[in-house]
Structure 1
Amino acid sequence: MPDLSHGDDAAAVNSLRSAVMRLSRRLKHQRVDESLSPTEMSVLGTLARCGNATPGELARKEHVQPPSMTRIVALLEAKGLVRLEPHPDDRRQKVVTQTEQAETMLEESRRKRNAWLARIAEELDDDEWAKLRDAAPVLEKLAHL
């Protein structure tokens, strides 16, 4: 566990934070559909990973307030990327489902971002690539804590 009072650990945490943020910003620029906000793309990604969800569940997963998620879902619905369906157990609620159009757009976006990342990773030597490949599951775990 990192000890932020220890100089080496504090420097490593700072370096990791900075690198992840820069890489994330660069990846976000590799979008297929520029009309979608990063938040809208994130909601579609959450639906793709986790499956259908109520707006309240999406708000919790995306760390936004429910009224904000209601607006985001309405925008996505107007763009034909999600549809609202009746909740199977609670008629007061709706379930958000992504459309085929959203699935296709997300797949194109993944392909574009993966190709970009593969291109820049070509600059790494074999040892650097092996370290990064080994770090990927750890970074994935951090992203979902």
Structure 2
Amino acid sequence: MPAATKVPLDTVVRLRLAALRLGRRLRRQSGTGLTPSQESALSALERHGSMRIGRLAEHEQIGKSTVTRLVANLEALGLIRRRPDTEDGRTWWVDVTDRGHDLLAGSTERANAYLARQLDGLSPADQRHLLAAVPALERLLEVKR
């Protein structure tokens, strides 16, 4: 791997702000009506499958009391279901309901359509540059420091 180069701070700031703004716009366009934390937890359950509430707290990097409230809210909306853990009666398993899967599918479709429209508005050169950067952005998300 080549030696790392020092990226100018102003470029780092621009990248961070662009990523934040794009994420915010995509969440708004997704139209779930959920908070970012609710949407993140629901998406994690869909991606990774059923898990104990404590594991969901670890995955989302939030406290157990916070995840308990989050789960209660998502359950009240009919997006997830809780079931007792047969091996440990002190905890619960949570998974996504059909309604939750449908909400996420519609959300993904709307966000993808928005992003495709935005990309269509760029020049072919800008489209190529952005699309060429996708693998590097994916690798950036895998770096654990």
TM bucket normalised to smaller = 0.7 to 0.9
Query: How do 1:1-145 and structure 2 match up within 5 A?
Result: 1=4, 3=6, 8-34=7-33, 36-87=34-85, 89-144=87-142, 145=144
| Cα shift readout 1:118-138 (whole Å, capped 9, x = no counterpart) | 001112222221221222233
Aligned equivalents of 1:2, 1:10: Cα separation in 2: 12
Q: CA deviation at 1:106?
A: 0.2
AA of the residue aligned to 2:17: S
Aligned equivalents of 2:86, 2:99: Cα separation in 1: 24
Query: What TM-score, normalized to structure 2?
Result: 0.86
Classify the secondary structure of the residue corresponding to 1:33.
coil
How high is the sequence identity, in percent, across the aligned residues? 36
Deviates more, 1:81-90 or 1:45-54: 81-90
| Cα shift readout 1:13-69 (whole Å, capped 9, x = no counterpart) | 1111011011111112113332x2121111111111111111111111112111000
Aligned equivalents of 2:128, 2:53: Cα separation in 1: 40
Classify the secondary structure of the residue corresponding to 1:119.
helix
Q: CA deviation at 1:2?
A: 5.0
Classify the secondary structure of the residue corresponding to 2:50.
coil
**Contact 1:52–1:96 (8 Å) recurs in 2:** yes
Classify the secondary structure of the residue corresponding to 2:30.
coil
- Structure 1: segments with no counterpart, 5+ residues: none
Classify the secondary structure of the residue corresponding to 2:69.
helix
AA of the residue aligned to 1:100: D
Query: What TM-score, normalized to structure 1?
Result: 0.86
Higher relative contact order (CA 8 A, sep 6+): 2
Following superposition, which runs of at least 4 residues in structure 1 exceed 6 angstroms of deviation?
A: none
Q: What's the C-alpha RMSD, in Å, of the aligned pairs?
A: 1.7
**Contact 1:2–1:9 (8 Å) recurs in 2:** no
AA of the residue aligned to 1:73: V
**Contact 2:82–2:94 (8 Å) recurs in 1:** yes
